[in-house]
Amino acid sequence: MSDPTNGSFATPQSEPVFMMLKRDDVAEASRQAQETFSAFHQAMIAQKYPDGFFCIKAHFSEADGSEGANLWVAVSQIRTDGYLCEPFELPKGFTGLQPGQKVLLQTNNALDWMIMDGGTLYGGYSLRIQRTLVPEAEKSQYDAFLGVTTYSETLP
């Protein structure tokens, strides 16, 4: 896990940067995500952001069933039985998912959701909480690392 206070956002990363959040912060991000998930779903159905990057954050256990990680996965398709997703970045040594593997998630699996459209971030509640932990002098590097130019205060 990278330490965001050591300038890790300014240098290229070979794997995802993870930041520990307090249990209460994770719960709050998940609550916000669940309360607003219908907006995420409707934006996908309406194809409101044709060039947008739609992602769901969910918990994935290691292959042996042991504790895993909360990971972002890209949504490739909405189906009647859920959201077909695949990982786009995996931590080194993580065995619970493989590159290119498709996973089917339901709404209740979502710890968070986000839409990234041309630098505007919709949702991404856990990312917003993480940003509050980044020193003020490094916030612009954090934003650039994520590709965010605007944190939308409105739902998609």
Tens-place pLDDT, residues 21-33 = 888 999 999 999 9
Number of domains in the chain: 1
Percentage of the chain exceeding pLDDT 70 = 88
DSSP at 76: E
Q: Is residue 1 part of a domain?
A: no
80 within a domain of the structure (yes/no): yes
Give the global pTM: 0.88
Residue 73 lies in a domain: yes
> Would 8 be classed as within a structural domain?
no
The region of weakest confidence among 15-19, 31-35, 55-59, 138-142 is 15-19
- Please name the residue ranges forming H helices in the chain: 23-45, 125-133, 139-146
Section 126-133 average pLDDT: 94
Report if residue 143 sits inside a domain: yes
Residue 10 domain flag: no
Model pLDDT, residue 13? 54
Mean pLDDT of 30-51: 96
In a domain, 7, yes or no: no
Nearest CA to 4 among 152, 154, 130, 121?
130
Instruction: Give the domain extent around 27.
Output: 15-151
In a domain, 71, yes or no: yes
For residue 139, the 8-state DSSP code is H
